[in-house]
Amino acid sequence: MRPIRMSRSRVLRALAVALAAVAVLTACGGAGDTTDDGRQRMTFLNILPLESLSYSAELIADTKGFFAARGLDVTFETTQGSAPAIQTVLAGSAEITRIGDIETMIAAGKRGAPLVAVGEAIHRGTLRMVSARDDAITEAGQFRGKLVGTPSEGGTSSITLDLVAGSAGVPPAEVRRQVVGLAPGVFDLLTTGRIDAYIVSLDTSVQLQRTRPEAVVYDPNSAISAGAQVYATSRATAQDPAEQDKLRRYMAAIDDAVRFIAADQATGFQATMASISSKYQVPALGDPETAREALRGYVASYTGGETSVGISPQRWERTYQEIAGIGQLPPGLDPAQWLVAGIAPTGTVTR
């Protein structure tokens, strides 16, 4: 048998993922299922540092007591990206994580992972593509021939770029890309002409628009359905009656949180920012006006779906068709098999 050769970088990446998963498994173990006051323990895996407005719903559910009111004691555990988070929920050592719909479908539909989506609070993608005013990109077709900075090779950002370009008939091979990282100084690569655009988070795009007037922000939601963030778990967890109960209560608490934040928009998010700051040090809250603008963006995403925290089967199907259309998934699959209804509460949040 011919030995399987792996590059050193691939070996290191695999080792890093395995070690991260082991670290989370160790952190999740050892505690009983119930607290002294009767709340059930469960673990949420955040794939980025928790102290971010991206996790406002989780932070509000914690600090406003929505988890406790639903009889839950939720522990947050940070993983180094979505890969270890997926491995950990599949191992049954954590109940739930929040990852992209693109990653979820590729894991389930391409790699055969028993991963399912049970809810969705952020219905619209929160990635943004930044260019400079003197060579602004404002339409999907303008990415043809451009050099675009991405945080990593082949990740969600890069696939999102493929989807956006594909929506205008531009093949992925006609959009060049370069890994540029996430440092604030990346914008200087634009002004010096070393790249034509780069991909950032919603929070960063708001900060750039406030500090760099020459920045032009393109919203991928104008071209594609993909980009939502879904709550994912293992199929075994979703089918277990006791675990189903915990998942329903978790999603109900997230529903409470997004409604709280959406209603608080009328006050300029004063209660939201005060509640989060009471327990967490979120750097974005250091500039209240930037934080308010970012929170307005998240509320637009919270209220951008057919229901508050449910997943629209129609949009789920459109997302699959988009991903399959650029060759990232096989054609002819049934994406409904990766979706579990009845966990997330129904009802819409006030727009």
Over the stretch 322-350, which tens digit does the pLDDT of each residue have? 999 999 999 999 999 999 999 999 877 76
Query: How far is residue 178's CA from residue 53's CA, in Å, rounded to a whole number?
Result: 27
Give tens-digit pLDDT for 303-315.
Answer: 998 899 999 999 9
pLDDT at 184: 66
Provide the 10 A C-beta neighbour count for residue 49: 11
Quick check: 23 pLDDT over 90? Answer: no
The class of domain 127-222 in CATH terms is alpha beta
Q: What mean pLDDT comes out for the span 108-128?
A: 95
Q: At what angle do helices 288-302 and 202-211 cross, to 10 degrees?
A: 140
Tokens linked to 207: 């900060």
Q: pLDDT: is 284 or 274 the higher one?
A: 274
pLDDT at 351: 62
Provide the 10 A C-beta neighbour count for residue 221: 20
Tokens linked to 330: 């096989």
Contact 289, 315 (CB under 8 A): no
Confidence of residue 177 (pLDDT cuts 50, 70, 90): very high
List the one residue out of 45, 50, 59, 60 whose CA is nearest residue 95: 45
Q: What mean pLDDT comes out for the span 10-31?
A: 47
Give tens-digit pLDDT for 56-71.
Answer: 999 999 999 999 999 9
From residue 218, give the alpha-carbon distance in Å to each of 46, 102, 128, 207, 223. 26, 19, 6, 14, 10
Quick check: 3 pLDDT over 50? Answer: no
Confidence of residue 77 (pLDDT cuts 50, 70, 90): very high
- CATH code for 40-124+228-338? 3.40.190.10
> Where along the chain do its domains lie?
40-124+228-338, 127-222
Tokens linked to 136: 């602004």
